[in-house]
Amino acid sequence: MNKLKSMIEGEVDKLEDQFKGTGFHDARAQAHHMKHKFGKFFNILNPNHRHDEEHEQATDRKRTGIAESHRFESYAPIRENNNLKWYVDALDYLWAVSIALDQAQEVIYLADWWISPELFLRRPPFDNQEWRLDQILKRRAEAGVKIYIIVYKEVNQALTCNSAHTKHALESLCPEGSPGHGNIKVLRHPDHNIFENAADMTLYWAHHEKFIVIDYALAFIGGIDLCFGRWDAHQHPLADCHPSNFKNDIFPGQEFNNNRIMDFQSVDQWQSNEISKSEYGRMPWHDVAMGLIGDAVYDIAEHFVLRWNFVKRDKYKRDDKVDWLMLEGRTGEDEDLVAVQRPKFPCGDYVQHPFRPLDTKPRGRQGTVRAQLVRSSADWSSGILLEHSIQNAYIEIIRNAKHFVYIENQFFITATGEHQAPVHNVIGSAIVEACVRAGKEGRKFRVIILIPAIPGFAGDLRQVEATGTRAIMDYQYKSICRGEHSIFGQIKAQGVDPTQHIFFFNLRAYDRINKTPALLKLEEDAGVSYQDIQRGIAETIMSDSVHPTIGKEGDKGEKDYETTAGEIEEKIERLRKFERRLEARESDEGLFSKDTVAHTTMLHGGKMSDEAWQGDPEGEKENFVQEELYIHGKVCIADDRVAICGSANINDRSQLGFHDSELAIVMEDEDLMDSWMDGKPYKAGRHIATLRRELWREHLGLLPAQDYDASREPNAQPPGVCPNKVQEGPENDFVADPLGERLWDMWTERATVNTEVFRLLFRADPDDNIRTFEDYDKFSPKGSKQGHLFDPFQPVTQIREQLDKIKGHLVWMPLDFLKDAEMAEPGLQVNQITESIYT
């Protein structure tokens, strides 16, 4: 790569000598000349390579003028009177999406980082076969709905999401000659071949957006991909072992995942899974998304059309099976805003969207929320000049907050100024400004931030393989509290105590695997392990595929794997044998205990010490498991008045604009409700305040465990069917005042107790008692079984009594973790080249 760059730079010097005395000094003319001489290779030195000709620059000027007239310098204006609905965790979200997709009449736009065609949008899967994603899309395509999908094309050496399988599986749903043929189109972007696409050195960057548009009538946006590993309920079960009835299986095949133990493997072989449900718990997943109806839907659609046309021009311009999209309201003089300089005689048709006139869609007053779309986007991702309106929105929202800022995010890497290279986004500076101003005014002000305990998927943080994860954590600690330029350091330098204003937390959960002596005896009688049964269950639930047997397919279309009918029959026969043994013992009294005890941390969930267990009581101990509750949502709430939710993390990758592509929505509800703030009456935005209350009640264990059947649940319906329903009662009143002292006492007390119990029973890491790697080995010796009890000799009655104390999922973030060690030593994984990956 360096040799190539040196070669081009040498040629630049030669050309400059050639141009001397010729009058050919104009930089743009030189660039144009070199573009034709060197083709895409020259673009390594010219990152805005698509913006050096007059017609391109005319479009850029138009876009710039539009953005400058909008708040946050966004491509989209503020849209009044939208109907917004929040979804906390994927059970409700995916149920609502399943309804909306199945009702599509004209067109579906879907953009995700990862899409799993075999994803069940409703659970348990055995009873919801028709609600698998590929089943739904097949039905709609056969009904004439046009389905357009853009998915991130991963770097195969780094990620296992296999977008080639996604494309092949979905486009094969309606083969030639069948109803719906050609109605599903999937584009993957970007390419990662320097010889084909030197213009876009995007080996590091991803399309990270997650959104859906249906019929230009409603949309979904947030942090939830339609892929394996995201489905979860408020109680966040870790266990999925069902010896009494395999039809209760919730996470079949690849759905049962714990990245701390093993990343997804061969996702095209979606029935198989190498993690045994009788040995380990899954990694629970917390997320947030929005559904909306109103004028803001059009702005999401416009962004999709821009990206579609850009990918078409960038990768598929000679493929007449891929159409160009024309957008109503962006035709004529404004067509170039979404056309991305389409050629006059293109391959593929021009297709007008929406199919029916825009005035037939839900426009105008649909609700009470002022909404605005913001994005991180640039030349490589959308063919446009740089936009980082998401960062602008975060900074302004935080800077203007008067009472509190609440953040949930997968990462927290940010700078307070110009002295924290290689980190460049300055959300941290806005936090410092808000806290210092409140401190000097003597005003109560809190910034409460929840991020994952471990923001990556390393098994053991001491291993070499975890160097990248430790690098991310190192940048986070330097952003938060380590060094004079950290947020804590900058606040303290201005005479304000940061510990009175900023608080960091993680989430953690526990469960019990229902691996009883009765199950062990059944395994022995049937001559088969539960892990084999687990695979057989997945075959039974998932093998009736609507798309052909899909192999592991590369870009050239070769298959190197195929599940044979004989292998499936063999697995199913093993399952049937287990079932027969099970049926023969069903009459045995007290044979089975509950398949999960996650409900015990939630409202009215009872006590762990009251949960039944069959067989030797001491044998129960090996079945208790814990894991970090992975925070994946990207939401920021200020003063119960304004919120932002989308796909963007708090790091340079998501915030700078020219790295990962992102889309988010800023919301302010004009429907003000009576509430409280610091003990005083306060008018809060209904949509914003109810979202914050729902989140806090879940984390505190003040919500009941969810039933997996959400057919009667208002919060699992699409927007327009019904508004969000808040569970009224003393618990809702208790969390109404975000600055209330009784609430804060419970918040901090539960975080403290939960942290102590997880430390005592499981030696859960990271932990404040681990300040060096030597401490690490003493605290949690290497080789211990991931997620299980630390002391197997502690009496089970004492363990149960300790677990009774855990309520909700809050734990303190250990700000002293490895503070006296070099967390990420420089080397092959951590260096000047890779630092932008981790920030």
542-577 pLDDT per residue, tens:
765 544 433 333 443 333 334 444 555 665 566 666
pLDDT reported for residue 574: 62
pLDDT reported for residue 210: 98
Angle of CA points 746, 752, 757, to nearest 5°: 125
Q: Which residue has the higher pLDDT, 520 or 725?
A: 725
317 is an active site residue: no
Q: Which residue has the higher pLDDT, 503 or 7?
A: 503
Residue bearing tokens 């389409």: 342
Residue 373 lies in a domain: no
Cis preceding-peptide flag for 714 (omega within 30 of 0) = no
Please give the Cα distance from 455 to 251 (Å, whole number).
23
Other CB atoms within 10 Å distance of the CB of residue 815? 15
Please give the Cα distance from 147 to 546 (Å, whole number).
17
Please give the Cα distance from 713 to 715 (Å, whole number).
5
pLDDT reported for residue 586: 53
Helix or strand or coil: residue 461?
coil
Q: Which residue has the higher pLDDT, 501 or 538?
A: 501
344 is an active site residue: no
809 is an active site residue: no
Please give the Cα distance from 391 to 378 (Å, whole number).
14
When the pLDDT of each residue in the chain is averaged and rounded to a whole number, the result is 87
478 is an active site residue: no
Quick one: angle between helices 27-38 and 2-19, nearest 10?
Answer: 130
In terms of residue numbers, what domain contains 63?
Answer: 2-68
Q: What is the DSSP letter of 39?
A: G
Averaged pLDDT for residues 465-484: 94
What are the phi and psi torsion angles at 501 (to 5°)? -125, -30
Residue 634 CA from chain centroid, whole number: 8
What are the phi and psi torsion angles at 188 (to 5°)? -110, 140
Catalytic site residue from 92, 112, 215, 287: 215
Catalytic site residue from 146, 165, 207, 208: 208
pLDDT greater than 80 at residue 144: yes
pLDDT bin (cut points 50, 70, 90) of residue 265 is: low
pLDDT greater than 50 at residue 454: yes
Residue 21 lies in a domain: yes
Residue 727 lies in a domain: no
Residue 267 lies in a domain: no
Catalytic site residue from 146, 501, 632, 809: 632
Q: Which amino acid is at 787?
A: G
Least confident of 13-27, 121-135, 753-767, 798-812: 13-27
pLDDT bin (cut points 50, 70, 90) of residue 272 is: low
Catalytic site residue from 85, 146, 207, 210: 210
What are the phi and psi torsion angles at 682 (to 5°)? -150, 145
Residue 231 lies in a domain: no
pLDDT bin (cut points 50, 70, 90) of residue 199 is: very low
Select from 763, 660, 706, 815 the least CA-distant residue to 203.
Answer: 660
pLDDT greater than 80 at residue 48: no
Residue 717 lies in a domain: no
Averaged pLDDT for residues 226-235: 96
474 is an active site residue: no
3-state secondary structure 200-249: CCCCCCCECCCEEEECCCEEEEECCCCCCCCCCCCCCCCCCCCCCCHHHC
Averaged pLDDT for residues 119-133: 95
Angle of CA points 499, 504, 507, to nearest 5°: 150
pLDDT bin (cut points 50, 70, 90) of residue 259 is: confident
Catalytic site residue from 165, 403, 634, 659: 634
Q: Which region holds residue 638: left if phi is over 0, alpha if psi is between -120 and 50, else beta?
A: beta
Least confident of 168-182, 210-224, 433-447, 567-581: 567-581
pLDDT bin (cut points 50, 70, 90) of residue 459 is: confident
Other CB atoms within 10 Å distance of the CB of residue 321? 10
634 is an active site residue: yes
What's the structural domain count of the chain? 1
Residue 42 lies in a domain: yes
CB 227 within 8 A of CB 94: no
Residue 544 lies in a domain: no
pLDDT greater than 60 at residue 451: yes
pLDDT greater than 90 at residue 13: no
